[in-house]
Amino acid sequence: MHPKALLDAASELVLRVLRLDHPADAVVSRFFREQRQLGPRERATLAETAYAVLRRKPLFEHLARSGSGGRERRLAILGFAAPRDFLKQALTDAEKHWLDACDAIAPAELPEACRHNLPAWLVEPLRAQLGDGFDALAQALLQGAPLDLRVNTMLQKRELAAQELQALGIDSVPTPYSPWGLRLAGKPALTRLPPFQQGRIEVQDEGSQLLALLLDARRGEMVTDFCAGAGGKTLAIGAAMRSTGRLYAFDVSAHRLEALKPRLARSGLSNVHPVAIAHERDERIKRLAGKMDRVLVDAPCSGLGTLRRNPDLKWRQSPASVAELVAKQQAILQSAARLLKPGGRLVYATCSLLADENEAIATEFGSQHPGFAPLPVADLLTGLKLADAAALCTPDGAFLRLWPHRHGTDGFFAAVWQRAG
């Protein structure tokens, strides 16, 4: 495609994603369905351009004030994910001079908001948690996330999976913490490859794998993944159980559970039972009260730990939406806890960076439920033989706390309790 046509398409896509009325990945997918003539290379350039604008929106809007032409075109030029020589074939002489001037601006000359590119409401709580580490987090969130895989160890060992991928021209390294993970170099297309189609590998961030590992589900147990979504952690838990026992995958979205079915078929698991529920107090949940050995609550959250993948969330979330989520998280955790039998394990997790959705929820639950004894996560991970387990946790070892700038994963939190008895 000619550079001018590609820049025009990028400008239109930037216009659509900046409406912020739908998740960016859904907007991009819809755009590509409408533009079927686009090849893989053009699609990659357009998607990366849109995500670059979302990641650096304050910076690009600041720079765009000095340009000319349509706002979306100026933003698309600044975020264009292709070599400058290619881009400049689409630009007027005035646009070329303006872009060169923008490129020459040193970061130190920019306002602080244009360096961290986060909304003001999010800066304060993150600074309070991280102190001097805030800038490193902000820079990490401006990068794309790596592509992590989970090897289905029921079907193949991790070493053999890496060898199979290498034979297909895909380089990988073992993830530093998860014993099931491989991290790929680049983002190759996987869906048509035999190891993917035959269920030997699944795309899953290393942090998400660690949540399943922390549940430590055993053969023959009764286990619930309370907010299963599309089932990534469900599949990891089922494999850890070696397809024995009974694993319930609950979610309020029947549509998301439908997406689990083809993955489940590939995985070889026969112990997973997807169940669509109306809400956390559904009668189908009440009938299972006191019967579960383990329950994972990966609660609906702001998703702010996934900003490398979903940069639109920092513009679509707000203090009001987080407050609504906190109330929902409290209700879900209390309902899920009733499922546990005496001696059972409860794991509460989010992919949020905010203490309000994490430590605050865990502390309040613990104070209201003295029959649930907190289990220090650092000790649990050490028992699972994870390298440098304490570095994955809060300083007191109580909770799992993963950060993109420290651990290379999405941001994750987890707290663990054991029911008395």
Where in the sequence numbering do the catalytic residues fall?
351
Closest by alpha carbon to 63, among 11, 115, 5, 18? 115
Closest by alpha carbon to 274, among 226, 211, 236, 242? 226
Q: Which residue has the tokens 């794998």?
A: 209
Residues 212, 236 contacting (CB under 8 angstroms): yes
Specify the pairing of strand 272-276 against strand 292-298: unpaired
CA 283 to chain centre: 30
Distances (CA, A) of 270 to 89, 217, 265: 56, 15, 9
Q: Which residue has the tokens 């009440």?
A: 286
Residues 274, 225 contacting (CB under 8 angstroms): no
Closest by alpha carbon to 329, among 313, 352, 305, 306? 352
Helix, strand, coil shares, percent, the chain, to 5? 50, 15, 35
Cβ partners under 8 Å of residue 356, min gap 6: 125, 322, 326
Question: Measured at the alpha carbon of residue 354, what is the angle toward residues 314 and 20, in degrees to the nearest 5?
Answer: 15
Residues 331, 324 contacting (CB under 8 angstroms): no
